[in-house]
Structure 1
Amino acid sequence: KLLQLFLPCFLHRFFPLLTDKISTFKYWKMFWFRLQYNSKNYHFSNILCLLCSFFITHFLKVYLILWLLKHDYQVLAFMFAVEEINRNPNLLPNISLGFHIYNVYHSNQRTLESSLMWLSGQGQTIPNYSCEKRDKSVVVIGGATSELIFFTATLLGLYNFPQISYGHFDPLLSDPLQFPSVYQMAPSDTSLPLAMVRLMLHFKWTWVGLVVSDDSRGEKFFRDLQKEMARNDICVNFFKKIIPGQSFTKKIYRVFVQDIFISAAKVIVLYGDTNSLLSMMFMKNPHVIVTRVWITSSHWDLAKKPSYIYFNNFYGALIFSDQTSKIPGFKHYLKTINPARYPENIFLKNFWNSAFGCTSHHGALHETVCSPNASLDTLSLSYLDMTMSEQSYTVYTAVYAVAWALHEMFLVKSEMESNIDGDKRIVHPWKLHSFLKKVHFNNSAGDQVVLDTKRKSVANYDILNYVTFGNDTEVLVKVGEFIAQNPLGQDFTIQEKAIVWHTGKGKPPQSRCSTVCGPGFQKKAQEGKPLCCFDCVPCLEGLISSHSDTDQCVQCPEDQYPNQERNQCLPKMVTFLAYEEPLGMALASIAVCLSFLTALVLWVFVKYKNTPIVRANNRDLSYILLISLFFCFLCSLLFIGCPSAANCLFRQTTFGVMFTAAVSSVLAKTITVVLAFRATRPGSRSRKWVGSRAPISVVLFCTLIQVMLCTIWLLLSHPFPEADTHSDHEHIILGCNEGSLIGFYFVLGYMGILALASFTMAFLARNLPDTFNEAKFITFSMLVFCSVWVSFLPTYQSTKGKMMAAVEIFSILSSSTGLLACIFIPKCYVILLQPHKNTRKTLKNNVKS
């Protein structure tokens, strides 16, 4: 057991070359080199350790070059930051940073083994024991994926060793109880689901497929995205989970692709890390999913692969990438980089030889000859574009975060524990935690850097369009952005014309369960199906939908009405009974003519006032009746024209008073006829009433009652003008609201009572001798009057708008004409055409008298 414990250390100490060869052969050239910087006072070696996620496999050499370059850029960004810090005399004066770079394998077991090897030495791993006499690093910067962090943090956390992750933010890693030694550089990606949903809403994609990695981050993203989609009425067509590192057989791959291919969703969201589809993307099934729009984040590596590989179908994908700033000097640093500058960097040398076609020298087997003009900016790799990528930027910032923590540690000497060993000062890693938690600075790009999760900002995103070309080059074009801090409506911008779609068309594809409901239709959910699946039904009568995909039709404003297609509102025309229109002109002309005829009859009666026919049945009552009829004809003009406050106030009251005077005059005439024939009887008491002012008193009394009713009506609830927007869906009808309907019907009812009383008395007196008897004419006139107004009530109630006014005018004119024609036309006929009958002698010689 002693030999088993000490033999690896013994061999490594005295035969380092042999153990290095064995280790290199066993772990496939694990990258191991050290850069030491000597300073005047202090010497720090191995202060930083970078665990780069290099996936070294048996894949094609072409893919390996492009794949490793992306990760080699992270190493170069790391080295660039270290060199920049060591040149800064203010940040860490008299201190130089050194580092080790390790390779991490695509295996959980190998990851733990590499971490343990780093702790105990490169030979046989012995927990809690180091076979090497060297300075330990104080921080580990690594973890491109959350899965990698989970395994390395499990081991390193036991030693309270600070570990800074440059991968994408994972809420589980921010748990201080489970991962107290892990710090995340990336900003929180809680706004990513909202950003993707805003993109879907912009292009009206409501039927979307989801493919996420089967891990904690994938589960949380799926829950957040599904909740945000449901809030915005976007449905999930299908949901697929990909187990990271799963080995895809042809059967599993065929089922996976077939489910996506037969789905109606033309848009698919991908979320996870590159490992999730690492084995699947090399299945030989070309051009299977070429008709889909892929929405993903920069977690996925979309670098171009050989033509038969599955991921080649990502042409036109939309990628949400964390916004980063340009680091000054990094582009120039890449142009000057070469293997001669870093001779110990094996990966850089291997990449350089493959990328630039370096050939081995015939004279020396281990020497290679490259083009003297070889530079990274000459490669046709526009995907990298010689700028700092998202994760490279995070690596760069992570190195500075460690430097600032060390800076604060050395300033606060009372909080630093150190052991002096010769000319070296050793920093205990666990002492760095308190300073890392308080790191707060601005990097060279001007961005604020905070490691504390509680103060960490939410990520903003650039929306990139992935485009490939026939010459094996690829481009990521920025077509929009999402700024989470901006208010709603200003947080999302997209340049639709700049996007290149996989279909080759300028318009984005549609991804919907149902076709778009056009204007004039509304959506009706299909029973038993998601909300995004619906039928299109026309809007109901009186409702419209002016936009596509309307959930519910809406009603037009009161001053507008729907068109025939029910997709827009048209302004309503204002209408009323005007003098200019034919109906109003005709009614006004008839009213004026009848009033003129009434005045003419009055003139005849005044001219022949001493003739027996005029003097019969009380000449003054005839004058009152004619004057009342004259004003009755004229008051109908108040119902024509645009209603006003004064117009509405006087039209019904004037009509009521004038008609009451006319009807009471007819009633008084009827009473006069009855009294006249009763007075001819010997000893009759009615003789004293004949020729008196009693009939005129009846007219005044009856009219006064109507005036009182109208006054009460006006005081309590008077009529007023109003605009009726509901009776006619195409017109706004201007009219008068009668105010109190009870007052209005009291006025009409009172006139009806007087008319009924007159009709009854005239009907009873119709058989009296008719030499001076008007009873028959009054009976017929009141029959016409009552017939007109009895038919008026239901007709008035069944009509709307200006026709109501026309019906009332017609009733006024016809009833007034009935009184004028039945009572006065026969008398005018005798007066004007048969004057020989209008003598007292002729009337006395009448047998019936």
Structure 2
Amino acid sequence: MSQEPLQSNKQNFPNFYRTVPSEKALYAAIIALLKHFGWMWVGIIYADDDSSINAIKIIKNMIVESGGCVEFIKLVPSINDYTPERIKDIEQTIARSTANVILLYGSKNNVYYLELNVHVTSIPGKVWIHTADSSFRIFNVVNDTVVNGSLRFIMQKNENPAFIKFVKEVNPSRFPSGRTFTTWWDELCENRCPFNPRNRNCTGVESGRQIIWSHCNLKFTGMSYIVYNSVYAVAYALHEMYQETPLSERLQDINKLKFQDLKGWKASPERQIIIKKEAIVWENKFAKLLMPRSVCSEKCLPGYRKSVREGQPVCCYDCLPCLEGQFSNQTDVDVCIKCPEDQWPNVQKTECIKKALTFLSYEDPIGIVLACIAILFSLIASVVLGTFIKYQNTPIVKANNRDLSYLILVSLMLSCLCCLIFIEKPEQLTCFSRQAIFGITFSISVSSLLGKTFIVVIAFNAAKPGNNLRKWVGAKVPKCIVFFCSVIQVFICILWILLVPPSTSYNTQSEIAKIILECDKGSAIAFYVILGYLSILASVCFAVAFLARKLPDTFNDAKLITFSMLVFFTVWIFFIPTYLSAKGTSTVAVEVFAILASSSGMLGSIFVPKCYIILIKPQKNRKNFVLKGSL
């Protein structure tokens, strides 16, 4: 009647026949019970014998494979090895345990002495799972209480009505003599049946159903019923074999007879554990719950992922929110899922939703501010232009080529207005025109300043006796400079548009939860070539103006141009790193700000001082003041 799984090996045990299920069925039942209640965090106490040691190794692996964890494994001492230190160690292990479910694996004797010495069932808040068939009987004898919610696995039982008849009629003399049997018989039916068959009346045995723990209990214990079935199985098998085999063969081959597979018990794979939860009375601690819980960590809700604590079992983890751009829509996920590029997780990070399409527009506060500044500066440039046209015949306007002054003011006005193209929904046409208009208008402005500076230098040197530069003094040279320098920029822009034209693109990486509709420049090199060419023009203009700054004050535009170029360089030097570090709509805003800052710098540095004299100090706007250098 052994349940040892190793004895199922027919090579090592060819003549072993089971009349009881292997303990493997018990292992599977334990795992099914734990999974049914969701008890993924358990403690184990087992007996110090080979069978229990082998069983616990298998059960632990099965618990881990099913997703559970074992908090502790404690060995129950041998019957005579209970010392105060061991008792205290077991008590503290159970008391400190966070697992609410403890598996007690061992025989009834192990369980009895464990309870007798440690009183494990008196530790509150624990659900005990027993594998010893009579463990509840022993607990009741010791504590006279029932451990609510504790569960046990028992052998199948059944009644045998003929047992009472056997007790009344059997002659004890047919049994082996000895004190052991006599003692057993005295305890039989609670001493209600005397040993002497002549005086035996077995008073009260007929009501054996109410003799709960007596041998007369008609509902046999599991082990008794297994013995009963085993004996009858062998008896019937021998009887059948005896009848089917001829007498001559029986006599000749009596030593060769082998048992057949009686199939007294076979595992049924389709059988499932059935639990009536409403019939279980849980301990008071769990009264407020539908059932006890035993987990190391509570489930991670959707929107979170598990992060196993270092050095602890996988059942012990922290719940961390999913990272940016990730979501989880199930409980207890190990890894969050990344949303598609055009989607973003909701606030709870339980699902992905479409990203909002955005761009720098007039509805954004920064877009409104930049648009207002652009319009303001363009109006200021137009007012200055109108002022210069109105006072075109005054000396300060006529100095250094008033046509170039008009051209600079117009180009600055257009530079400011081109910023409005940046503050709207990007389309194919606007993407073409943005950088081209910006580059061309700025090249006209800077080349015009370069032309004005050359006029200063040429005019000053032409005034010296014997100098041949007089023929270069006039309007043609600066106009040629402006035309030539501007055409180069126009040529660069045309090549850019033809070879790698800018186009609209959807940027899903720059900003969180947004898709940036922007203009893809097509070629970053072409963009930086435009900026580089403007830098070359500005550098040449700055160098010439710096060399001409000490010329007589009659030609004081050189000083103003030098300062304006310093402003220009300062703006664009800070622009490059800021532009490269900006993301999304901030990139466009930085470029617009750089255009407006450099335009306003040139407008303020060159024309504000002149407007001050024209409007506020008109007495200085005379030829004699200009000639005296009193500007």
TM-score, normalisation: structure 2 = 0.70
Q: Map 1:421-820 to 2 at 5 A.
A: 431=257, 433=259, 435-436=260-261, 450=266, 462=273, 478-479=276-277, 500-501=282-283, 503=285, 505-507=287-289, 525=310, 578-605=361-388, 617-640=400-423, 650-680=433-463, 685-691=468-474, 693-710=476-493, 715=499, 721=505, 723=507, 741-769=524-552, 771=554, 774-796=557-579, 803-820=586-603
8 Å CA contact 1:591, 1:633 repeated in 2: yes
More helix by share: 2
Whole-angstrom CA distance in 2 between matches of 1:844 and 1:307: 122
The 5 Å alignment of 1:339-488 reads 339=164, 354=189, 365-368=199-202, 376=209, 417-419=245-247, 431=257, 433=259, 435-436=260-261, 450=266, 462=273, 478-479=276-277
Q: Compared with structure 1, are the counterparts of its residues 515 and 257 closer, same or farther at alpha carbon in structure 2 (3 Å cutoff)?
A: farther
Q: Which AA in structure 1 matches 2:372? A: S
Q: CA distance change for structure 1 residues 610 and 556 in 2, over 3 Å: closer, same or farther?
A: same
Is the CA contact (8 Å cut-off) linking 2:108 and 2:133 kept in structure 1? yes
Specify the alignment match of 2:142 in structure 1.
309
Match of 2:6 in 1: 172
In structure 1, what is the equivalent of residue 74 of structure 2?
Answer: 239
**What's the CA shift string for 1:375-408, capped at 9, x where partnerless?**
85x7889xx997997995997699789979998x
Where 2:134 maps in the other structure, the secondary structure is coil
Distance (Å, rounded) in 2 between the aligned partners of 1:717 and 1:397: 92
Matched residue, 2:43: 208
Does the aligned pair in 1 maintain the 2:128–2:149 contact within 8 Å?
no
- CA shift digits 1:158-184 (9 cap, x unpaired): xxxxxxxxxx4x222112233212222
Letter aligned with residue 234 of structure 1: C
How far apart, in 1, do the equivalents of 2:227 and 2:477 lie? 114
Correspondences of 1:90-169 after superposition (within 5 Å): 143=1, 146=2, 168=3
CA shift, 1:286, in A, is 6.4
Query: Over residues 272-319 of structure 1, what are the superposed CA-to-partner deviations in whole Å (9 max), with x where a residue is unaligned?
Result: 4435446x3795886764437355455533343474427967542233
Q: Partners of 2:422 and 2:14 in 1: how far apart? A: 89
> Which residues in structure 2 correspond to 1:211-360 (within 5 Å)?
211-212=46-47, 214-215=49-50, 217-228=51-62, 234-235=69-70, 237-241=72-76, 248-249=79-80, 252=82, 257-263=87-93, 264-265=96-97, 267-274=101-108, 276-277=110-111, 280=113, 283=116, 289-291=122-124, 293=126, 295-296=128-129, 298-305=131-138, 307-309=140-142, 314-320=147-153, 339=164, 354=189
Go from structure 1 to structure 2 and tell me whether the alpha carbon gap of 1:682 and 1:391 turns closer, same or farther (over 3 Å shift): farther
1-side partners of 2:147 and 2:323: how far apart? Answer: 48
Distance in 1 separating the partners of 2:490 and 2:235: 101
Coordinate RMSD, CA, aligned: 6.0
2:432–2:501 CA contact under 8 A, matched in 1: no
Cα distance change on mapping 1:520 and 1:419 into 2, 3 Å: closer
Aligned partner of 1:65 in structure 2 is none
Offset from partner CA, 1:521-543 (integer Å, 9 cap, x none): 966546xxx65899989999989
CA contact (8 A) 1:719 1:740 kept: no
Report the secondary structure of 1:223's partner residue.
helix
In the alignment, the residues of structure 1 paired with residue 171 and residue 528 of structure 2 have an alpha-carbon distance, to the nearest angstrom, of 108
Contact residue 427 and residue 503 of structure 2 kept, 8 A: no
Cα deviations by residue, 1:564-600 (Å, 9 ceiling, x for unpaired): xx99999999986553344432221111111122233
Q: Which string of whole-angstrom CA distances, capped at 9 and with x for unpartnered residues, describes residues 317-354 of structure 1? A: 233568x8xxxxx98xx59878459976799xx99994
* Residue of structure 2 in register with 1:134 after alignment: none
Contact residue 401 and residue 436 of structure 1 kept, 8 A:
no
Flag the 1:652–1:317 CA change in 2: closer, same or farther, 3 A.
Answer: farther
**CA offset digits 1:620-652 (Å, max 9, x no partner):** 433432232122112223444566776666544
The 1:602–1:299 alpha-carbon spacing in structure 2 relative to 1, beyond 3 Å, is same
In the TM superposition, residue 750 of structure 1 has moved relative to its aligned partner by 2.0
SS at match of 1:436: coil
Deviation at 1:417, TM superposition (A): 4.0
TM superposition shift of 1:816: 0.7
Deviation (angstroms), 1:781: 2.4
How far apart, in 2, do the equivalents of 1:394 and 1:574 lie?
Answer: 79
Between the aligned partners of 2:491 and 2:255, the Cα distance in structure 1 is 105
Q: Residue 456 of structure 2 aligns to which amino acid in structure 1?
A: V
What is the alpha-carbon distance in structure 2 between the residues aligned to residue 687 and residue 779 of structure 1? 25
Q: What is the DSSP-based 3-state SS (H/G/I as helix, E as strand, rest coil) of the residue aligned with 1:182?
A: coil
Bigger share in strand = 1
Q: Could you tell me how far apart the structure 2 residues matched to 1:391 and 1:631 are? A: 106
- What is the number of residues matched between the two proteins? 598
Secondary structure of the corresponding residue to residue 178 of structure 1: coil
Higher alpha-carbon deviation: 227-236 or 395-404: 395-404
Structure-2 separation of matches of 1:394 and 1:775:
119
Counterpart code for 2:142: I
Shift of residue 224, structure 1, vs aligned partner: 1.6
Find the residue that maps to 1:790 and give its secondary structure.
Answer: helix
Amino acid at match of 1:656: G
CA drift at 1:214: 0.3
Residues 305 and 193 of structure 1: is their aligned pair in 2 closer, same or farther, counting only changes over 3 Å? Answer: closer
CA distance in 1, matches of 2:316, 2:204: 65
Contact 2:5 2:23 in 1 (8 A): no
Distance in 1 of aligned mates of 2:208 and 2:306: 62
Contiguous gaps of at least 5 residues in structure 1: 1-142, 147-167, 325-329, 444-448, 451-455, 465-477, 480-494
Distance 1:844 1:290, change over 3 A: closer
User: Is the partner of 1:183 in helix, strand or coil?
Assistant: coil
1:811 is paired with a residue whose SS is helix
- TM-score, normalization: structure 1? 0.55
1:477-527 CA distance string (max 9 Å, x none): x44xxxxxxxxxxxxxxx8x956137464457787899999999966546x
Distance in 2 separating the partners of 1:235 and 1:767: 90
Contact 2:111 2:135 in 1 (8 A): no
**CA separation in 2, counterparts of 1:285 and 1:679?**
117
Equivalent residue letter for 2:56? F
Which amino acid in structure 2 is aligned with residue 293 of structure 1? K
Counterpart code for 1:704: V
Q: Contact 2:111/2:132 (CA < 8 Å) preserved in 1? A: no
Question: Per the alignment, do residues 213 and 702 of structure 1 end up closer, same or farther by CA in structure 2, a change over 3 Å counting?
Answer: same
Match of 1:182? 16
Report the alpha carbon displacement of residue 418 of structure 1 after superposing the two structures with TM: 1.9
Q: Secondary structure at the match of 1:665?
A: helix
Distance 2:626 2:10 in 1: 133
How far apart, CA to CA, are the structure 2 residues paired with 1:828 and 1:785?
21
